[in-house]
């Protein structure tokens, strides 16, 4: 800002009076000496010049401010661009790569709660200090010279005069001593009252402290007990899992996938189903929809419009990125499950990818499976995920199924599905409320079971006008029924085999069925079992005109036609073993 000196008076050689003021502006680095004959005019000129300088400086400040704001907005645009590009780079490549450089095994200690009790312990009240020592002036003494009468010559000639002085001195002593005693007593009383109040206040604080301490200790104990309970449960889960108890395996896999770090805008929800008989886990994974994927590639600040302008991926680029993201998620999930499997509880992983989005045809939200893959452990572990193209690996190497353009969200049938009602055949609960416990399909006579399968497929194919012919068990060459489906596109001859098994069906049974389909000149083969199939069986059937129905799917088919049964493999094994003993 401008500054000025005091008005100075000078004189010319001829003796005329002159006036001058020096003015400066430090920021503009300006100096000027304003002179004149008239004091008022000099002041006005100086003020006008300083105002002009201040205006110039103000404009420069405003210009600098605008330049700074512009630079700040440009820097903000650059930061947004860097963030957007980093996010896109992560989606293009790092979703899968991230899992390759971390240990996906469960760190049991990390699952434990080890936090200190967060509530601060109540503070003890400040203890009572030593009572102050009272200071009193010396007690008046009768022998003190102040209380000794002073006699003059005349006092020796007048006994009354002398006595008056003695009485006056004595009275002064009595008054001073009484005042001293009263002052001491008052101070003692004040001290006693103060100490009594302090003691009362301290006792109240102490009582509150002890009560707060009891509450604090109780709540801390509860907190630590809960923490210890959580940690104990973690130890139990760890011990149960590491001991090879496959019943805990699905919980372990859930911990693995829950720990997997994805962007916040990903759904990261899934359902798991695990069959310890064949060591197959099914993952129904909720994938991000296309509109969840960020598209910004660059952000610029447009000064003329005072706004940020975004540049986005083209639709083709977005489609390619979206497909890559989905393939990476699938491969990463399979990798995480296999790498974390320290007890060899997995032989095969089925990954079904689901997307929830708005169906453009109906305007309603719809969820559909867009791709499905089954990866055997021994095959998957031979892949170097650090060097693969996710799409090529998914389709060509692992032979996953799905549209070549995942972004189209074309629904497909999963390779193996989770039954949402969870009527698994490893437990012995009812299929429906009317279930007759005596009807355990896994313990039926094998001929009765084959007859049941023929009968139920007769009902199934008759819905579409088809026909089922039953073969003789002794002459069927491995065929329990032959169906003829009149549908001109998907129809034709279908051979059906039934396997009432209590153990996992191996690949040999599926190979036999495929051979039968070829020999019969059939269009399709259906294998039905009360148990489930091993990874090799599913792998062999993939890409062939074969349908494998496990016990869970069989129960669904039976219920569809009004039959309520159960499949309890453990119970069936015991029943069949007892029959063999007989």
**Assigned CATH for 441-581:** 3.40.1350.10
CB 228 within 8 A of CB 256: no
252-268 pLDDT, tens digit per residue, is 999 999 999 999 999 98
Q: Is the pLDDT of residue 450 over 90?
A: no
Q: What is the DSSP string of 258-326?
A: HT----TTS--EEEEEEETTTTEEEEEEEEPPGGGS--EEEEEEETTTTEEEEEE--HHHHHHHHHHHH
Q: Which whole number is the average pLDDT over 560-581?
A: 82
Q: Is the pLDDT of residue 411 over 60?
A: yes
Distance CA 458, CA 470 (A): 9
pLDDT-derived band at 479 (thresholds 50, 70, 90) equals low
**Residue 93 or residue 435, greater confidence:** 93
Structure-block tokens of residue 150: 């002073």
pLDDT score of 471? 63
**Residue 430 or residue 548, greater confidence:** 548
Q: Which whole number is the average pLDDT over 565-580?
A: 83
pLDDT score of 421? 45
* Other beta carbons within 10 Å of 126: 8
Percentage of residues in the chain having pLDDT higher than 70: 92
- What backbone torsions phi and psi does residue 284 show, to the nearest 5 degrees? -95, 105
pLDDT-derived band at 436 (thresholds 50, 70, 90) equals low
3-class SS of residue 147: helix
Question: Closest by alpha carbon to 556, among 431, 450, 444?
Answer: 431
- Rg of the chain (C-alpha set): 49
**Residue 480 or residue 98, greater confidence:** 98
pLDDT-derived band at 475 (thresholds 50, 70, 90) equals very low
Q: Are strands 524-529 and 546-549 parallel, antiparallel or unpaired?
A: parallel
- What backbone torsions phi and psi does residue 402 show, to the nearest 5 degrees? 155, 170
pLDDT-derived band at 428 (thresholds 50, 70, 90) equals very low
pLDDT score of 431? 30
Scan for tokens 């001073």, then name that residue.
176
pLDDT score of 318? 95
**Residue 144 or residue 12, greater confidence:** 144
End-to-end CA distance of the chain: 113
302-359 pLDDT, tens digit per residue, is 888 888 999 999 999 999 999 999 999 999 999 999 999 999 999 999 999 999 988 7
3-class SS of residue 372: strand
Distance CA 399, CA 415 (A): 11
pLDDT score of 39? 84
- What backbone torsions phi and psi does residue 18 show, to the nearest 5 degrees? -125, 155
Structure-block tokens of residue 404: 């070549």
pLDDT score of 424? 32
pLDDT-derived band at 487 (thresholds 50, 70, 90) equals low
Q: Which whole number is the average pLDDT over 233-246?
A: 88
Secondary element (H or E) of residue 71:
helix 39-89
State the chain's mean pLDDT as an integer.
Answer: 85
Which long-range contacts link 182-190 to residues 24+ away (Cβ below 8 Å)? 183/136, 184/134, 184/136, 187/134, 187/136, 188/134
Percentage of residues in the chain having pLDDT higher than 90: 30
Q: Is the pLDDT of residue 427 over 50?
A: no
Residues in Cβ contact with 33 at an 8 Å cutoff, skipping those fewer than 6 apart? 20, 21, 22, 23
pLDDT score of 314? 94
Structure-block tokens of residue 92: 């293009």
Secondary element (H or E) of residue 353:
strand 348-358
Structure-block tokens of residue 156: 């020796």
Distance CA 413, CA 367 (A): 13
Distance CA 358, CA 291 (A): 10
CB 538 within 8 A of CB 412: no
Distance CA 167, CA 183 (A): 24
CB 556 within 8 A of CB 567: no
pLDDT-derived band at 474 (thresholds 50, 70, 90) equals very low
The number of angstroms, rounded, from the C-alpha of 394 to the middle of its chain's C-alpha atoms is 29
Scan for tokens 């994938």, then name that residue.
287
CB 376 within 8 A of CB 535: yes
The number of angstroms, rounded, from the C-alpha of 231 to the middle of its chain's C-alpha atoms is 20
3-class SS of residue 349: strand
- E-only strand ranges, 431-555: 467-470, 481-485, 492-499, 524-529, 546-549
Residue 180: is it exposed, middle or buried by C-beta count within 10 angstroms (0-12/13-18/19+)?
middle
Distance CA 334, CA 345 (A): 14
Q: Which whole number is the average pLDDT over 292-300?
A: 93
Distance CA 215, CA 221 (A): 10
CB 280 within 8 A of CB 350: yes
Q: Which whole number is the average pLDDT over 512-539?
A: 86
The pTM (predicted TM-score) of the whole model is 0.61
Q: Is the pLDDT of residue 459 over 60?
A: yes
């Amino acid at each position: 800002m401008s500054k000025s000196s005091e008005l100075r008076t000078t004189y010319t050689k001829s003796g005329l009076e002159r006036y001058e003021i020096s003015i400066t502006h430090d920021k503009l680095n300006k100096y000027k000496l304003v002179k004149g004959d008239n004091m008022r005019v000099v002041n006005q000129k100086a003020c006008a010049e300083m105002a002009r300088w201040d205006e110039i400086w103000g404009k420069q400040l405003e210009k600098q401010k605008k330049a700074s704001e512009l630079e700040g907005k440009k820097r903000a645009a650059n930061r947004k661009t860097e963030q957007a590009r980093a996010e896109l780079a992560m989606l293009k490549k790092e979703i899968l790569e991230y899992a390759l450089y971390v240990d996906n095994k469960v760190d049991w200690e990390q699952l434990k709660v080890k936090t200190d009790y967060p509530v601060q312990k109540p503070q003890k009240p400040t203890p009572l200090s030593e009572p102050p020592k009272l200071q009193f002036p010396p007690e008046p003494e009768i022998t003190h010279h102040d209380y000794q009468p002073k006699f003059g010559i005349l006092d020796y000639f007048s006994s009354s005069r002398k006595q008056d002085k003695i009485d006056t001195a004595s009275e002064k002593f009595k008054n001073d001593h009484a005042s001293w005693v009263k002052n001491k007593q008052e101070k003692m009383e004040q001290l006693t009252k103060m100490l009594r109040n302090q003691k009362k206040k301290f006792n109240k604080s102490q009582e509150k402290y002890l009560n707060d301490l009891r509450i604090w200790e109780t709540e801390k104990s509860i907190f630590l007990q809960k923490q210890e309970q959580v940690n104990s449960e973690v130890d139990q889960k760890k011990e149960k899992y590491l001991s090879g108890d496959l019943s805990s395996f699905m919980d372990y896999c859930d911990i693995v996938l829950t720990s997997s770090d994805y962007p916040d805008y990903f759904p990261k929800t899934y359902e798991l189903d695990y069959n310890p008989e064949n060591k197959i886990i099914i993952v129904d994974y909720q994938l991000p929809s296309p509109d969840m994927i960020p598209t910004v590639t660059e952000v610029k600040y447009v000064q003329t419009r005072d706004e940020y302008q975004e540049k986005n991926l083209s639709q083709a680029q977005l489609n390619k990125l979206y497909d890559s993201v989905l393939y990476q998620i699938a491969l990463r999930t399979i990798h995480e499950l296999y790498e974390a499997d320290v007890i060899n509880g997995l032989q095969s992983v089925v990954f079904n990818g689901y997307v929830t989005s708005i169906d453009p045809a109906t305007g309603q939200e719809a969820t559909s499976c867009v791709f499905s893959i089954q990866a055997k452990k021994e095959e998957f572990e031979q892949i170097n995920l650090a060097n693969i193209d996710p799409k090529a690996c998914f389709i060509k190497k692992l032979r996953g199924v799905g549209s070549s353009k995942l972004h189209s969200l074309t629904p497909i049938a999963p390779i193996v599905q989770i039954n949402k009602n969870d009527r698994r055949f490893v437990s012995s609960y009812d299929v429906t409320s009317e279930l007759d416990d005596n009807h355990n399909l896994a313990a039926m006579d094998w001929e009765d079971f084959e007859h049941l399968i023929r009968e139920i497929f007769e009902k199934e194919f008759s819905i579409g006008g088809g026909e089922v012919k039953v073969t003789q068990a002794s002459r069927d060459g491995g065929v329990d029924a032959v169906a003829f489906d009149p549908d001109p596109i998907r129809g034709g001859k279908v051979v059906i085999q039934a396997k009432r098994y209590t153990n996992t069906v191996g690949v040999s049974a599926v190979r036999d069925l495929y051979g039968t389909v070829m020999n019969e000149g059939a269009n399709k083969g259906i294998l039905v079992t009360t148990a489930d199939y091993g990874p090799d069986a599913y792998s062999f059937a993939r890409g062939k005109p074969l349908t494998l129905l496990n016990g869970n799917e069989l129960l669904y088919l039976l219920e569809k036609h009004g039959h309520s049964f159960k499949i309890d493999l453990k119970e069936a094994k015991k029943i069949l073993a007892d029959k063999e003993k007989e």
